[in-house]
Structure 1
């Protein structure tokens, strides 16, 4: 059984938040990537409220394990962030969570006590009745984790208990949703085309014979994902765009040469990479390609073709900028044979 995500409640209660399934403090993530049904507009399903961030464009969908763009360097998109919740949504979540926990047969007393203390804090403690009398004046802000990364240390950093922010004020915490945070979340959702280069000769090449490689300009073009969040007092969005800029060829063996020597083929003015082979070019050096210096024997060499994408974003209020470049690639098998000579 897969462990559930949990709210990170600061202080002494952290140690007792490992509740039984169905009673964990769990806020959902974009798209319901944990297999939950996506609730349009950020509704409630059981005791889990899904993220209100929505995505459009060339998104990679909700399938776990889908390959995605890999940032160059140490930077990664946020593994957790803070989002606003209407007071009535927040109140319903807490009340449902409390009712479910105390009514679950066999539930541990410390779990009931923990949920009870949490409920009291917002119902009859520091806050009164979940601030329902101020529901048009502000929102509760809660932490949300990326479902695919919830075990990473970075996903544990959003550990502030739900807090109230009036409309027009900025939450004073890192990773509170802003246009740039939305742009970074969209970065993690970009679906890029499969990087399978066209080779000539195709499939099987010969030792010491230049192999031409290219990518079709119609397939490798800019792709974008827009992330949006609309709640009372807050309506923001950001569009993250990936533009292909180069192709890196790694032959899969040290006994090979690349064209150019660096193996880095830059993009052409028309958006293509490399150039197709044509009759009459056999004695020319390909602008993008490789040459194997020995055969692959009875097997194949694993050619790695990786495209580098330049990432930028624009957002609400005239915001925008650059994000770290990303890479995306695939392996493809290449058979290399010896050239057979006939002696007479």
Structure 2
């Protein structure tokens, strides 16, 4: 848990902990690609920061450091004084109620909340959007409604989604990477890797606990041959998951001329090049969290590309 550290003018507050199938050490992002182009994880949020006494110590030191910084005069000096009045004089500004001596008489009854940046958000505007000064929230109470980006189970679920590390799409092929024109290629996945996966994000501070678990359930495999001169099986190119958790059926000797339940047939040679066969597993995403919250998130995909050589069938004239 981090407290009292400032990054890019936003407070680094209680650290969100990740568990389950997530990116290494809960850092960076996972490998799940959302199918909805309009969906993004939150760029920032507001979360519990410090109790009243600890906040007074932190903020008083920060104000003192700012006053001692060269060039802090004029408008900058006025802004520093205004910030100090906000946390020391409850009635300094009628339109923005402040706090009496940093709320120290309420220490233990609540916490000051502050903005947190999502370190994995590349858009700086989104990361810096939670720029309101730290504000007080009583234990057991919801943050004021104007702070729409206050941390919720749904935000935690979205962050768990961003962190998810799912099994790579590693399809089985027969023939493997070199096949013949008009010879069916069999594709399958077994149920040892094709099972639901979970990731959990949690936030725990004195008097405040939230958690959400995001679950990814595999539903189908979509095959794209990498050339229009091919036929997928089934015709749609989407192979559904079977009741036993598998996709397709393994090739067995003697089935070379049969049509596979999941696969494709190339009708033209790749010549001196290869065809980029793309296999995409679609995962259905839902979440549950504190307070019986829950819902759906956009489906996600994991892709794999294999380079396939397709040769002409050589015939012998006797």
TM-score range, shorter chain: 0.7 to 0.9
1:135 matched residue in structure 2:
107
Match of 1:85 among 46, 49, 54: 49
SS at match of 1:188: helix
SS at match of 1:257: strand
2:13–2:114 CA contact under 8 A, matched in 1: no
Match of 1:74 among 38, 54, 57: 38
1:142–1:162 CA contact under 8 A, matched in 2: yes
Task: Kindly provide the CA deviation profile for residues 11-69 of structure 1, in whole angstroms up to 9, marking residues without a partner as x.
Answer: xxxxxxxxxxxxxxxxxxxxxxxxxxxxxx23455766354211110002356475333
1:256–1:292 CA contact under 8 A, matched in 2: yes
Task: Kindly provide the CA deviation profile for residues 48-95 of structure 1, in whole angstroms up to 9, marking residues without a partner as x.
Answer: 635421111000235647533324352222222111112255445545
1:318 matched residue in structure 2:
292
1:59–1:189 CA contact under 8 A, matched in 2: yes
TM-score, normalised by the number of residues in structure 2:
0.84
1:80–1:175 CA contact under 8 A, matched in 2: yes
1:274 matched residue in structure 2:
248
TM-score, normalised by the number of residues in structure 1:
0.78
2:219–2:281 CA contact under 8 A, matched in 1: yes
Q: Determine the C-alpha separation between the residues in 2 that align with 1:188 and 1:111.
A: 41
1:240 matched residue in structure 2:
214
2:63–2:80 CA contact under 8 A, matched in 1: yes
1:242–1:310 CA contact under 8 A, matched in 2: yes
Correspondence 1:42 to 2:16: no
1:60 matched residue in structure 2:
23
Q: Determine the C-alpha separation between the residues in 2 that align with 1:165 and 1:209.
A: 67
Q: Determine the C-alpha separation between the residues in 2 that align with 1:333 and 1:304.
A: 9
Q: Determine the C-alpha separation between the residues in 1 that align with 2:75 and 2:279.
A: 51
Match of 2:159 among 180, 185, 188: 185
Unmatched runs of 5 consecutive residues or more in structure 2:
93-97
Distance 1:234 1:217, change over 3 A: same
Between the two proteins, the alignment pairs up a number of residues equal to 303
Larger gyration radius, structure 1 or structure 2: 2
Task: Kindly provide the CA deviation profile for residues 106-163 of structure 1, in whole angstroms up to 9, marking residues without a partner as x.
Answer: 7776896456654553356632443233221111121222222142554454343321
Distance 1:85 1:64, change over 3 A: closer
Q: CA RMSD in A?
A: 2.6
Distance 1:177 1:64, change over 3 A: closer
Distance 1:296 1:44, change over 3 A: farther
Match of 1:226 among 179, 189, 200: 200
Describe how 1:125-274 pairs up with structure 2 within 5 A.
Answer: 126-151=98-123, 153-171=125-143, 172=145, 173-274=147-248
SS at match of 2:120: helix
| Residue 97 of structure 1: how far off its partner (Å) | 4.5
Distance 1:90 1:335, change over 3 A: farther
Unmatched runs of 5 consecutive residues or more in structure 1:
1-40
Distance 1:197 1:297, change over 3 A: same
| Residue 258 of structure 1: how far off its partner (Å) | 0.7
SS at match of 1:148: coil
